[in-house]
Amino acid sequence: MSGQSKKVFQRLYKSAKKPEDLPWHEADPPAQLIQALNQRTTPGRALDIGCGAGTYSIYMAERGYQVTAIDFMPQAITMLQARIAGNSLAIEAIQADVGKWSSDHTFDVVLDIGCLHTPGTIDLNTYKVQLLNWLAPGGDFILIHFGRRDWWDWWPIGPSRVYANTLRQHFAPELELVEDKSELRQGMPLFIGRSALIGQYRFRRI
């Protein structure tokens, strides 16, 4: 993670007393994640990349998955560990750099909400190498990433914006795009343009 991005996250976590205080918090899981889990016959292993406070790690664990949750920020891991303390959910929370972290097993579901599009976190080529090491054949990859609408849709700060077709081509041929339910969201902060295309993608490893 770049120094600038890290400072932003440190400031946000310092002022957050609970998950709801984080600006990206949404209680409801993405539709693509729900659908992916519904279509899988039995729970397996899941990886939550950039898990934050772990809202969706908890959701997957409550559905019977063994979850590994990783985040670069120690405050995120602390917050998640506090939320699951004393219960029996199968969640392993790890502070890690997604570009360097490795696992001794693969995952049936990989979820990324906001990690790849955070500037300075990881480049796209390294990300694909890591993803192919993590995701099992037939596994589902759910990615929430700021989409790009046209050449003008670019901002010097805030999440990186990428065309959906760029992602589809980059993850091919190992992954196929199963679903794209991108939506235009209004009322965004002024520094990222007041509106943004929120890319919501579900890939499957062939």
Three-class SS of residue 40? coil
Give the pLDDT band of residue 184 (cuts 50, 70, 90): very high
* Residues whose CB is less than 8 angstroms from the CB of residue 74 and which lie 6 or more positions away in sequence, other chains included: 95
Name the pTM for this structure.
Answer: 0.90
Identify the pLDDT of residue 158: 80
Structure confidence by residue, pLDDT tens digits, 135-176? 999 999 999 998 999 999 988 878 889 999 999 999 999 999
The strand pairing partners of 162, in sequence order, are 147
- Whether residue 114 contacts residue 159, with contact meaning beta carbons closer than 8 Å, is answered with yes
From residue 40, how far is each of 65, 91, 153, 202 by CA, in Å? 11, 19, 36, 14
Domain ranges of the chain: 3-205
pLDDT over 90 for what percent of the chain? 64
Give the pLDDT band of residue 14 (cuts 50, 70, 90): low
Indicate the CATH number for domain 3-205.
3.40.50.150
| pLDDT exceeds 90 at position 40 | yes
